Amino acid sequence: MFIGDLSPMVTGEAAEVHKPSGRCLRAVRFFTGDMRRCGQWVKRQVLIIQLLDGVLRGTAQVMFVSNPVSGLLISTGLFLQNPWWALNSLLGAFVSTVSALLLRLNRSDAIFAGLHGYNGTLVGMLMAAFSSKGNWYWWLLFPNVFMSMLCPVVSSALSSIMSKWDLPVFTLPFNILTCLHIAATGTAHPYFPEASHMQRFFFFLQLFLSVPVGVGQVFGCDSPWTACLVLLALLLCSPAICLHALLGSLKFGAGLALAAPLEDVYSGLWGYNSALSCIAIGGVFYGLTWQTHILSLICALFCAYLALPVCTWPFCLSTLIFLLLSSENPAICRPPLSAVSCPEENQHYLRQLRTSEKALSSCKGERTLERMEG
């Protein structure tokens, strides 16, 4: 038997060996990215399944991720931190999603992608965290429901203004409504008093823990276990988002440079806004290139130096400034807001766009030559 006769047999055996690994790879890919196949399946199901998927995606959309499994991992981390906070966050996401659905705001696919749920998630979570009444104070559910219902209303109003520049509203509705609630209640309110110190500081002996904890602080959580689950959720959907979240959270150096209290730095309070800014610029709202990667690090540093006191105001302001950047550099390209997805999907979209533009320009050139010859 010649060696050439063995090749079909070897190829067949190799194919049999690689079949299980190929199936595992396909199974893993099903849960990565934005899980479009799952979304298509959910659209054919009853409303309660669609709402459950929308709530989980809304929880994950806080970190620019539209993945229900990532949302489930993040929710698990929130329950590990504090079950009462987690319950309020899920209630906020559910109420804001249902409110957007009843008001018929924008497209239904945007609602079930979680784009009207993430502000409600933060409102519910932080209202519970800021309350001085402690855990399981059931009266807090009433203002939580009311403020969460207003989230899609404020979001829609801001969108009508910011759509002129093709800009997202980010977490501005959360910032506005939470600050209004805090201003209206204060520390002396008989039913809904706020804690005199809005954030709780826990001293971590190792400075490196402040990096993952800074990512967890997006949800107001200072537990490293919660932070690890949030990072795992990001890694599952998009490794690029996970990397930029960690790089942005590294900007605790700005807190040290500004002589911030060490307990603030150790508990990640100087990292969460920078993490969000770094994610937004580093591949979500810009195509991911080495130029936009550097731009994301600069934006994260700028965000850290804003040092505004509450919520996610530094993230919103710094990121909007960098998104309004006018550059003729083709490497700094911003896809339209309707096409924004995870960095990997954005790269694929921009690549297809460039290919179609080249084909169109070559077609126009051929037609011009034909006219000149004619």
Q: Is the dihedral of CA 176, 180, 183, 187 positive or negative?
A: negative
In a domain, residue 328? The reply is yes
Per-residue confidence (pLDDT) for residue 200, from 0 to 100: 41
Fill in the DSSP letter of residue 194: B
Helix axes 290-306, 313-323, angle to 10 degrees: 140
Q: Are 233 and 274 in contact (CB under 8 A)?
A: no
DSSP string, 139-169: GGHHHHHHHHHHHHHHHHHHHHHHGGGT---
Count structural domains, the chain.
1
Structure tokens at 372: 């000149």
Please tell me the predicted confidence (pLDDT) of residue 184. Answer: 77
Token pair for 86: 């987690």
| Positive or negative: CA dihedral 334, 339, 342, 347 | negative
pLDDT means per 10 residues in the chain (374 residues)? 41 50 74 86 91 95 94 96 96 95 78 92 92 88 94 93 90 92 68 50 58 91 92 94 93 70 80 93 92 93 76 91 86 87 88 79 62 61
Counting beta carbons within 10 angstroms of the beta carbon of residue 270, is it exposed (0 to 12), middle (13 to 18) or buried (19 or more)?
Answer: buried
CB-CB contact of 276 with 310 (8 Å): no
Which is nearest to 38 in space by CA: 2, 82, 64, 69? 69
- 254 within some domain: yes
287 part of a folded domain: yes
Token pair, residue 179, equals 């600050």
Domain assignment present for residue 351? The answer is no
Q: What is the pLDDT of residue 372?
A: 62
pLDDT at 191: 54
CA angle 309, 315, 316 (to 5 degrees): 105
Look-up of token digits 């990121």 = 319
- Supply the pLDDT for residue 67: 93
Residue 194: phi and psi, rounded to 5, are -95, 150
- Residue 131's DSSP bridge partners are 194
Query: In this structure, are residues 93 and 59 in contact, taking their beta carbons and an 8 Å threshold?
Result: yes
Residue 22 CA to residue 20 CA, distance in Å, equals 5
With tokens 């603030």, the residue in question is 264
Q: How far apart are CA 363 and CA 39, in angstroms?
A: 37
Is 259 part of a structural domain of the chain? yes
At residue 95, the pLDDT reads: 96
Per the domain annotation, does 215 fall within a domain? yes
The helix/strand count (H/E) of the chain reads as: 18, 0
CA–CA separation, 169 and 187 (whole Å): 29
The residue range of the domain holding 224 is 33-193+210-339
CA 229, CA 249: separation in Å to the nearest integer? 16
Alpha carbons 278 and 303: distance in angstroms, whole number: 9
Closest of 348, 242, 331, 225 to residue 286, by C-alpha: 331
Tell me whether residue 350 is in a domain: no
The residue written with tokens 């937004």 in the block is 280
Q: What is the CATH number of the domain that holds 137?
A: 1.10.3430.10
Q: Is residue 371 part of a domain?
A: no
